[in-house]
Structure 1
Amino acid sequence: MREIELSLTQTQRIRLQRALEKLQNISSKSNANASVTIADSIPVNFEDGVLKGHGTSELDGQVVATVCGVVERVNKLVYVRALRSRYKPETGDILVGRVIEVSQKRWRVEINSNQDAVLMLSSITLPDGIQRRRTPVDELNMRNIFEENDVISAEVRNLQHDGTWQLHARSDKYGKLDRGQLISVPSYLVKRRKQHFHQLDQYGVLLILGCNGYVWVGELIEAKDAMEVDSVKEFENSNTSTSGVYSLLVDEPSYTPLEIRQNICRIANAVRVLSILGFNITVEVILELFDLSTSLNLDIHDMLGAEFCVMVAEKEADRRSTVYKRKG
């Protein structure tokens, strides 16, 4: 568990300590064969030609762990996956990053890793949506697409020969993000899943859980296809109304309704609570905290208070205990 930095009363501290101890006991029982600490022995069969990977070492004829984490086996390779480590990109990861430099035919993006990533001009979908070769005019207009401090979503494409990770944003779901909040959490709290984009239609919120530990909570804006863009071009000078049509070529209203702004703040605070407690961040748990806070009639800022965090820890301990008993 991460260190809890909350202003707790004596009663709250005792309740939180009990909940965390309960969670730790359940975790140690369910992962007794997988979790290791420093100097723990890892059972292997040397006759099978075992390969010792990261986080392992040989001592007195035994393979021991040199870091705290989970033992992973890939064929003959045995290694320890550290629970708390700097984010390491993998091909296909969904990321949320911030543009820090616009250079020749590329943007440099900060992705919460030990080095920045690169997004090439040729790896994005142009605003007109037409597949064509990039021209010098496109290069001159790069700042009209992304500029410094813009928050964007992208996907990891590959690792270049010089050790730089390259991104791409060819799909309509990738691109610039605005009207929302960017939250930084430890990357190990966001597990790789099939879906990292979540459109919460009932709240009007777009939630992106970046594998790099950057979480975006913003207004859900409908994306329109190329036919609608052409329709706007055709009728923009006529008397036909084009209200409600959103595209990169049409000015969108800059106003976000109050209810959606409140939903964004409440979901963002739910993410912060999970980060404070060191719980895995998933859309299911986030929505549970959202519903819990509304059922208790809590103000948005009260979600970051000590009492709510302690209550979340207790409920999570009870939930995991029930699941463990069912499995047992």
Structure 2
Amino acid sequence: MPQKIQIRLASHRVSTSVAVNQRYPKIFTPGEVITSQNEFMRGHGTYEENSDLKASVAGVRQQVNNLISIRPLKSRYNGEVGDVVVGRITEVQQKRWKVATNSRLDSVLLLSSVNLPGGELRRRSAEDEHMMRQYLQEGDLISAEVQSVYSDGSLSLHTRSFKYGKLSQGVLVKVFPSLIKRSKTHFHNLPIGASVILGNNGFIWICPIINNSEDGASGFIQNLEEVVPRQDRETIGRIRNCILSLSQSKMMLYDTSILYAYEESLKYTVPELLVQEAMVDVAILTQQRLCMLEDT
């Protein structure tokens, strides 16, 4: 069948600056006044001018007590202990794997920081070291937790919980880390028939419903032989396009915003969600529903 091709002039482009008008979160631009009160301290991404505290980068305001800083929208991921991350294995070394996690330096996953097949807790032997490539090899995607931060800023990861490990069939979406809202859990089984892992590093994994039960779990099972039903694949594709719509408009990504965007996108087909007008429409309608939720 012939494919429809969308061609537009520069004058017909649609503005995607939805987040400028929304109440949450407020995005500050360089030179914009954050506050005029003198009792606040200046943090990263800010400067003082004429007794006003102004933003030096474009980003979201963060406040800890009296310290105000601006977290840039476009920046590398700076990990913190306890963060959930999605990463890709880039290299197999002696007793460790190198993992790309959207940070300045590759993260490290030690052989002693993973659950081996069978789930037994024991000292790692030379045989385990020789079989490392059978567990995880270059190109594999994993979910993990930040265990510690080294002095050079690189991260040490672990997958000792059964909810972490190798990721099998699904779709990876990359967004700015600043758009991921921090919450108690970043693993969501959405009621629309798909699971989402919102990595604090800006990598989002969308896949069929995840069963986190420990029965038969090892952290290395992929089940690539299983056929994902067409309905599940369409759901995953729609969620992906909804996330792209929200991230294009610089809206925060969490389970509620993704779910609202999915519901507002049902009037479009999955391919139509890649058209600029449809992406902005979904973002605006999602923003309105989130504002109504805050008011109640």
Residue in 2 that maps onto 1:208: 197
Question: Which of 163, 171, 179 matches 2:169?
Answer: 179
Question: Which of 314, 323, 326 matches 2:284?
Answer: 314
Structure 2 unaligned blocks of 5 or more: 1-5
Query: Following the alignment from structure 2 to structure 1, what is the Cα–Cα distance between the partners of residues 224 and 88?
Result: 22
RMSD over aligned Cα atoms:
3.5
**AA partner of residue 183 (structure 2):** R
Q: Is 1:24–2:14 an aligned residue pair?
A: no
Per-residue CA distance 1:3-42 (angstroms, 9 max, x = gap): xxx96689985xx55x847x534449x95xx957427475
**1:252 Cα deviation from its structure 2 partner:** 6.9
Q: Are the aligned partners of 2:84 and 2:146 in contact in 1 as well (CA < 8 Å)?
A: yes
Q: Are the aligned partners of 2:169 and 2:222 in contact in 1 as well (CA < 8 Å)?
A: no
Question: Which of 113, 117, 128 matches 1:138?
Answer: 128
Q: Is 1:53–2:43 an aligned residue pair?
A: yes
**1:118 Cα deviation from its structure 2 partner:** 0.3
Structure 1 residues 144 and 308: alpha-carbon distance in aligned structure 2, compared to 1, 3 A threshold: same
Question: Which of 261, 267, 274 matches 1:304?
Answer: 274
Q: Is 1:277–2:249 an aligned residue pair?
A: yes
Query: Following the alignment from structure 2 to structure 1, what is the Cα–Cα distance between the partners of residues 90 and 36?
Result: 46
**1:69 Cα deviation from its structure 2 partner:** 3.9
**1:314 Cα deviation from its structure 2 partner:** 3.4
TM-score, with structure 1 as normaliser: 0.75
Q: Are the aligned partners of 2:246 and 2:283 in contact in 1 as well (CA < 8 Å)?
A: no
Residue in 1 that maps onto 2:3: none
Aligned length: 291
Residue in 2 that maps onto 1:217: 206
Per-residue CA distance 1:195-216 (angstroms, 9 max, x = gap): 110123651x221011111110
Q: Are the aligned partners of 2:114 and 2:158 in contact in 1 as well (CA < 8 Å)?
A: yes
Structure 1 unaligned blocks of 5 or more: 1-5, 230-244
Pairwise mapping of residues 238-253 of structure 1 onto structure 2 (< 5 A)? 253=225
Pairwise mapping of residues 83-122 of structure 1 onto structure 2 (< 5 A)? 83-122=73-112
TM-score, with structure 2 as normaliser: 0.82
Structure 1 residues 189 and 249: alpha-carbon distance in aligned structure 2, compared to 1, 3 A threshold: closer
**AA partner of residue 206 (structure 2):** V
**AA partner of residue 311 (structure 1):** D
Residue in 2 that maps onto 1:255: 227
Pairwise mapping of residues 153-172 of structure 1 onto structure 2 (< 5 A)? 153-172=143-162
Per-residue CA distance 1:205-247 (angstroms, 9 max, x = gap): 221011111110112343553xx55xxxxxxxxxxxxxxx999
Q: Is 1:127–2:117 an aligned residue pair?
A: yes
Query: Following the alignment from structure 1 to structure 2, what is the Cα–Cα distance between the partners of residues 153 and 246?
Result: 13
Query: Following the alignment from structure 2 to structure 1, what is the Cα–Cα distance between the partners of residues 222 and 273?
Result: 38
Query: Following the alignment from structure 2 to structure 1, what is the Cα–Cα distance between the partners of residues 117 and 96?
Result: 16
Q: Are the aligned partners of 2:135 and 2:220 in contact in 1 as well (CA < 8 Å)?
A: no
Q: Are the aligned partners of 1:224 and 1:247 in contact in 2 as well (CA < 8 Å)?
A: no
Larger radius of gyration: 1
SS of the residue aligned with 2:20?
helix
Deviates more, 1:90-99 or 1:279-288: 279-288
Query: Following the alignment from structure 1 to structure 2, what is the Cα–Cα distance between the partners of residues 35 and 250?
Result: 43
**AA partner of residue 202 (structure 2):** G
Structure 1 residues 275 and 251: alpha-carbon distance in aligned structure 2, compared to 1, 3 A threshold: closer
* Identical-residue share of aligned pairs (%): 36
Q: Are the aligned partners of 2:260 and 2:286 in contact in 1 as well (CA < 8 Å)?
A: no
Identify, as 1 or 2, the structure richer in helix. Answer: 1
SS of the residue aligned with 1:24?
coil
**AA partner of residue 38 (structure 1):** G
**AA partner of residue 127 (structure 1):** P
Structure 1 residues 56 and 277: alpha-carbon distance in aligned structure 2, compared to 1, 3 A threshold: closer
